[in-house]
Structure 1
Amino acid sequence: MKLKKSICILSLLFFSISIFFEINTTTVLADDSPTIYCNVDKNDIVAGEEFTVTILANNVKNLYGASVDFKYDSSIMTPINATSSCAFNNDHKIYEKITQNDYSNNIFSFITTFLGDYNGTNFASGSLFNIKFKAKRSGSLNLNRESLNIKLSDSNANPIKYNMLYSTINIGQAAKINSINSNVKNNLAIVDNNISINTNATSKYPVLYKYWIKKDDSPWTVLSDYSNKSSIDFNPKSPGNYQISCYVKTNNTYEDPSDFKIFNFKVLEKPSITKLNINESTINLGGKINISTDSNKNNTLFKIWVLENNSWKILQDYSPNNTIDYSPKLNGLYKISVYAKSPDSLSELDDCKIIDFEVLPNATLKVDKNFYTVNNTVNLFTETDSSNDLIYKYWMNENGIWKTLSDYTNLNTFSLSSLTPGDKLFAVYVKNKNSNNDNLALAQKAITIVDPKLTIANSNLDNNISINDEIKIGLTSNIKNPKYKFWIMDSSCKWKVLQDYGDNNILSYIPKEYGNYKLSIYLKDKDSQNEVDDYKILDFSIKPKLSTFTANPNNNSFVYTPIKLTASTKNSTSDLLYKFWVKDSKGWKMIRDYDTNPSFDWIPTSPGNYIFSVYVKNKNSASTVDDNLIIQNYVVADNTIKDISLNKLSNEIYQVNTTVDNSNNLLYKFWYFNGTDWKVLNDYSIDASIKTKNLDFSSGKISVYIKNKNSKNEYDNFKIVNLKDVKLN
């Protein structure tokens, strides 16, 4: 019974298409009657994309089975698959099948039904089918009763009538050209122009571009096949009417092209220069040249350049004017260049010609002085009304003989020194650097060379000079009008003038500090333009001298007792440094490095015979020592305990007294031995005497430790006495 019911409903869905379709197209149902409509899952479908059409229904009761015959346009879309939707998704078994996929007739059919004894399903709103398509090309399809034949059946195999809402599937282009842009002006270009075409296209996916070209009546040919490059450059080699077309598409579409546009332009012959003339090939500064040019085209534009001082500059920008006058401001070799182009050309120029001409200078030779010494450098220089790209050759006549000083160079100056005394005659040749002409300028100048000498007549400068002593130096020379200038450099290492140029020939200077000095003496003639014609530099040093070196205590002392070493100089200043040394049985050692303090306290730690030395030097001195003194045979002895005595103060109280060689900075420690053990009566202190009681004079002993307060020893010396041997006072 269940199988028979299902077969009956399937038969209804398969074989009552025309009758059911006609009933639904002619019947208008109530507002609460079933309604079928379609929904597409994407709003902006483009060619190449997949999309799903969902068929939905409202107000359906007792639905048992449904089918759809979808008539589509295979040129714009193709079905992929179909499934039943939520109206049939419950726990009851269903049967579903694609019954027809006829690409030639553009028909796609799908059926779904419950199986067995089932009363059907009721729903206010739900989806019946999901049909997936792939968009092939742009276009549209109306979803109505002509494209969709939908059949509904209840559980008794009766058809369910319904209303239908219409809609449309719109498939857009996979790629669309917005514009084609070019650098071509007014759709005109010139042969050999670089023509740039750029296409602006939009798509949801990466766009591919293909360019075609067509000239006159020739067929279309490919300029570049599909690629991701949106622009292309093209250089036409012949005149004519051109068309460039751009195709666009995406990789995921059948559309080829998805869109295209055509750009039209015309290519003209380029002009050529037929004439370029100037009125003179060689002129002097201040002259003028006339430039004239022409071409084979009437509407040609001309741009005129000049190469001046190795730099091109524009005399006239593009203009129909073909003549111009030019007055050069510099000498040298020039070039005139003319550019010609069509008003429609995309190039900077369509043709070019160059012509040369030369501008010659006017020149004068000069020298910088009329008075020279053998110590001077003679500077020759050439003055011209233009210094652009000139070369110069210098000569000298000495004792009637001409000799070349320098061959042609680009330097307008020449210097020479170490000339012998006497009369000299100089000359210079001047010409353009790259000129093949022999034009040149000539100038001459005569000068006289003299040989000044500076002599020290007398001087008290010797090693006995100290600070505050006056230095005097007398000077003479071999020139008629001598002038003297004196300089001094002290420890600051900076030169300063003691006397500017004058007639005084005695240098006087009093040094005020220790250090190294330099005196410089300049000599020049009153008519000389030199800073100095002769000079001398004298080096001298003012060093400190030690006057005394003492030790306190004098001659001898004790270990760990400070010895004050003190040095003094004849002229003591804050710039002096002192360094102290001591020599013992092991040799010399430094006990204090250089310092401004002339005194130093040294503490001996062992007895012996010592030698002390002090170094002195100026703080700016490069020497290890400027002066030194020595103290010989200084004796340092150990401190010893001479005696330990006792005074009886009462029947039980005793005073222990210690007598030593030197009590300065001395510490004492007292011990008592009771016949069995030693114990401290008084730890280290400055007290040489202590009070104690309960002494055993039969077997007791007293011991005293002594050490200097600077000593690091447990004791420096000690003494032990038996109480029975001590005489009481």
Structure 2
Amino acid sequence: MSELLITFDKESPSLVDEKINIKVMPEESEVECKFLEGAPGERNLTWKPIQDFSDKKECQWRPRKSGDYMIMVQYKDKNSKKIKNTKISYQIKGIEEKDVLENNNKNNKLIKDIIIDKTSLVIGDKINLEVLASEDEEILLYRFWVKGKQGWEPLKDYSIENKLTYTTTKAEDGEILIECKRPSSKENVDDFTTVIFKVKEQPIIEINTFECLSENLLINEELIFKVGVNCDNSRTILYKFLRMDSNGRINCVQDYSTKNIISISEKQKGEYKLLCYVRDIFSNKQYDDRACMIYSVKAYDEIKIRKFSSDSNSPQVEGSNILFKSSVIGGKEILYRYIVEGPVAEDTGYIRSRNFNWETKIEGDYKIILKVKDISFDGDYEDIRELNFKIDKKGEKPVKITDITASKTRGCIKNEPINIKVKAEGGTELKYSFVVYKNGKEKERSNYGITNWVNFTPEESGEYEVEIRVIDKYSSKEYDCHDFIFFKVRDYEEAEIDYVLLSPKEIYLVGDIIELETIVQNTKNILLRYVTKINGHEVEDTGFIESKRLRLKPKCSGKYTFEIYAKNILCNEEYDIKKELSLYVHEAIPVSNTKIIIRNNNIIANNEVTFDVSSEGGKEVCYEFYIMEKGNWVRVQSYSRKNYYTFLPFSTGNYRILVLSKSYYKKINYEDYTLLEFEVKA
């Protein structure tokens, strides 16, 4: 139960027979009050009740004679018999002193007005108010109170400062009491007033998006998660992330911060949980909303066999060598196993080669089986394919294509001829045929002939596929062997990046100029686009521009990646070619050349000696000091910006001092250190 404050609606002194309202603050206190009048007598005050104990915090008083009065309020808790009281003096003048009193009241009005910037606020807003005093007063003292649960709570004691800034922390109707007095006044308060304000809760924060931005969730790969809330940028929202592994162990990935994007790398496969807590920076709650994401991390992408083929068609003759090729996606370290089932069986076991050379020995029907798996997989296989092959009795050497060459495979332009040549062996007399496909549909073909080359002139832009077929003169098959070559034909000469030149530096620091120059062919018709990423996050995209140079000044450290896209001005696709370049920008050069200097070389027991430390490089370099005394190292000064240490040796002997140094922002034990031995003499 805190002390109550007695207030009057009229300033003291007042007139006889005037009605005066007496009120106690705070009004909402759970107490019963009794009001008493201390009327002046011959020797002492005579106490007379004005209003008996009740819940009312206000009463009306009408003094009948002039004099110096004392108003007392007795108060107690409803469920208690213990009574406290508070008193305040009040002066009453006679009717004949009315004019003088009015002038005095006018003169006693010290507070002219209160200027307040706003009275309707939300939690976290600040109230700024200024007290305007009467122009007749030069120096006044001001005191400020705020209404709390236990009554009026002090904000600022009497001072000449007439301004107050108050930060709201609760949603409630509030009130601030301003008291004023002259420095020479013997009264506790000469004038006072109050201002009322309302504080509302901030709009409820809700997480509306929680997503993983990484396509593949693999071990030792960067996993990026992003959280979105239903608030605009006018509010400062803090995010906290906790990660839980499959064993229930929890670690804090990020404590409350304004960053809503985090990066995690898992070292083991399994199922994980990521919890996100969000709250307003001014919220008094532990969190305003939370969400949980469950994600599974794999050791590698699923293994799939895209293609399993041979360089020769079935059938072939015994004694021939057939090369089987496979194309597999996924996995980290893929193993291949080739099994031949037939008259003569073979099994390579799991090997690392994706090619298998099969030397046929006996005619018959065979099945060639390909099994693949990752080296970490415990089972028999993760994917399997089969090919049937027939081996005939040995005849002549089988037909094979040994080489295909083209005058160009990249930068093909319509209406420009492309020369294709093929080399083949085997058989008795070989013939060649060329079939042209566009977008999967046959456009033209040449009949079998002895010419092993062709000039192919694409008349339209698009993707072309040329099939080369080779057949022996006496063969009854459609072809003995075949192969394909692919072309992408454009209406224009596509862009080609020859080099990306980078300003030569061994170490790039924050603030250094990074300049890239791209060397391209057909320069006038080429547009370039530069995309800059810092630690995997895109920070700038120039769009396609004519400039072949990019110049920037890094403001923060990290891994800078530059993606350079080039395209001809006639290109309708996103780009013709892309190249990527990465470099690291450091906050500062490493700390080095740490040295210890003794201010006084003659070190005597019980006398202080100071060691100064200096170093080169680094940023906001910190130092930590250790002293070895009698064979034991003792840390005597933890990491700080203080670059000296004063030591008071109590005994003689040989000592050693060790100083560790590092940049303040580095999360390592040290970057550099130095040792010094010294002797303490008697």
Is TM more than 0.5 here? no
Range class of TM-score, shorter chain: under 0.3
Q: Higher relative contact order at CA 8 Å, sep ≥6: structure 1 or structure 2?
A: 1
Select the structure of larger CA radius of gyration.
1
